[in-house]
Amino acid sequence: MFAAAFSVIMLLFLFALSRGPGAYRSFLRWLDTPWSIALCTIILVAVLYHTGTWFRLTTRILSIRLGRRTVSRGAVAAALVLAWIAASAVVAYFHIWF
Amino acid sequence: MERQDVADAEPRLGDVLDESERWEPRPPRRGRRVFIVYLPGLEPIFWALFSAGGFVAAILIPAHVAILGIAWAAGWLPIGALSYGRVHHLVHNPLIKLYLSALISLPLYHWAHRFRFAIHHQFGIHGWKRLVSVATYGTAVAGTVLAVWVLLRI
């Protein structure tokens, strides 16, 4: 639900981008308002909660077999967290330094 | 209609499950010797999209929200990080367009599937199955079409 709210924000962002520099700049100004910051904080908290529940769920339903042994739930959880850190780093890289 | 009236009057678990099973693939009945191919319908596709959307929401969206929604407003980003020219150039790349369309549309399918389930099984509204499906999945499809349309214009 909150991830879908972010989809709407992203759609508006791209819509502003497609309409030219003026519309884009006014969208960035909207991102600066307390309303936007409050909304994004709520979305961030909710999405991080979703990350936690989703990863816990995944460790329960995913069983990876290597030969005769099954990868433990802890190892799956560690892999998910590492993947999350790596994905976040890539997103940050594209946003900031690319 | 008759079944809906019964469900509205006295929502019992059996009725709810019967209703939702109509949307799910059924195994052939025992004792039948004729092989029948049961078309599973769209349910598995929406399940897959739900799952993909849940993964995108879990792994990618926190960083996006933190950067675009909070770090930008707080002034933590370097000057020019979100400048029109830079972002426009970045989004012009076809791979980035593909990524953004998935980033926008998959969580919408996740929401649609989850919200449809919540309406029927958490809010206890058992009727209007078709209307609810059209409204939720329709919103997701509309969001996907909008995302692709906007990205093609950039």
pLDDT at residue B117 is higher than 90? no
Q: Which amino acid is at A41?
A: T
Give the C-alpha separation, A37 to A1, whole Å. Answer: 18
User: How does pLDDT run across B2-59, given as a tens digit for each residue?
Assistant: 455 544 555 566 666 566 555 555 555 565 554 444 445 677 788 888 889 999 999 9
B69: closest CA among A79, A94, A43?
A43
Q: Give residues 7 to 46 of B whose Cβ lies within 8 Å of A.
A: none
Domains and CATH numbers, chain B: 42-153 (1.20.1300.10)
Among B53, B62, B96, select the one facing A88 at the smallest CB separation: B62
pTM over 0.90: no
Read off the pLDDT of residues A70-85 as tens digits, 9 standing for 90 and up: 778 888 889 899 999 9
The complex's ipTM works out to 0.87
Residue A26 contacts B where some CB pair is shorter than 8 Å: no
Q: What is the amino acid identity at position B94?
A: P
A11 CA: distance to closest CA in chain B (Å)? 6
| B82 Cβ under 8 Å from any chain A Cβ | yes
Least CB–CB distance from A87: residue in B59, B143, B154: B59
User: What per-residue string of b and e applies to B77-106 under the rule 16 or more CB within 10 Å gives b?
Assistant: beeebbebeebeeebeeeebbeebbbbbbb
Cα A76 to its chain centre, rounded Å, is 19
A14 contact residues in B (CB cutoff 8 A)? 91, 100, 104, 147, 150-151, 154
**DSSP 3-state helix, strand, coil percentages of chain B (rounded to 5)?**
70, 0, 30
Partner residue facing B65 (CB), from A21, A40, A83: A40
All domains in chain A, ordered by first residue: 2-96 (1.20.1300.10)
